[in-house]
Amino acid sequence: MNYWLVKQEPESYSFDDLLKDGKTDWTGVRNYQARNNLRAMRLGDKVLFYHSRTEKSVVGVAEVSRAEFPDPSDEKWIAVEIKPFEKLAKPISLEQIKAEQSLENVPLIKHSRLSVMPLTKQEFETIVKMSEPSAVAGG
C-alpha cells in the first residue's frame, strides 16, 4: 500500500463534500509531477485530504477507489477516483506539521505547490495520530 496527500481548496471541494458525495473523480491536475503521482496510485491506497489556502490543514483520510483513467475534463491528462475513509477527530494544521521534527521531509513543506504528493507510511501515520484526542498535550 502507498500513502498520499492531496490538496484542495475547501471553497471548491471540501472533505465534507466528499463525505456527502461518497466518492469523487480527482480531476484537473495539470502538473507533470502531480500527474506522475496520480499514475502511481493504486486501488486501496490511503490519501490524506488537505484543505489548502484558507484552512491549511489535513482534515480527513480518503482511499483510492479507482486507479488511473483518462481525465474527463481533458483526456490528455489522468484522474483517479477517491472515496472518504474517515474525517479526522481534529484538523492538523500546516504549522503543526512543520513543528513535528519527524515530518521535516514531507513534500507539503518541501514542495508546497505540489497538489498530489507521496508520503511514507510513517509520515501518514504520524499525521493521523496527531489528530487523536490523546495526542493533545496533557490529554
User: Angle at the Cα of 87 (from 45 to 98), degrees rounded to 5?
Assistant: 80
C-alpha 46/C-alpha 23 separation (Å) is: 14
- Name the pLDDT band for 135 (thresholds 50, 70, 90): low
Mean pLDDT of the chain: 94
Lowest mean pLDDT among 4-13, 48-57, 115-124, 126-135: 126-135
Amino acid at 40: A
The structure's pTM equals 0.94
pLDDT of residue 19: 98
Put the strands of the sheet holding 57-70 in their side by side order: 24-26, 78-93, 57-70, 46-51, 3-8, 116-119
List pLDDT tens digits, range 5-55. 999 999 999 999 999 999 999 999 999 999 999 999 999 999 999 999 999
Q: What is the CATH number of the domain that holds 94?
A: 3.10.590.10
More confident residue, 130 or 137: 130
pLDDT of residue 112: 83
The total number of structural domains that make up the chain = 1
Query: Which are the contacts of 81, defined by CB distance < 8 A and separation ≥ 6?
Result: 23, 24, 25, 26, 64, 65, 66, 69
Cell numbers at 89, concatenated: 477527530
User: Angle at the Cα of 70 (from 14 to 74), degrees rounded to 5?
Assistant: 75
pLDDT at residue 138 above 70?
Answer: no
List pLDDT tens digits, range 61-105. 999 999 999 999 999 999 999 999 999 999 999 999 999 999 999
Which residues constitute the domain of residue 47? Answer: 3-135
Strand partners, 47: 4, 62
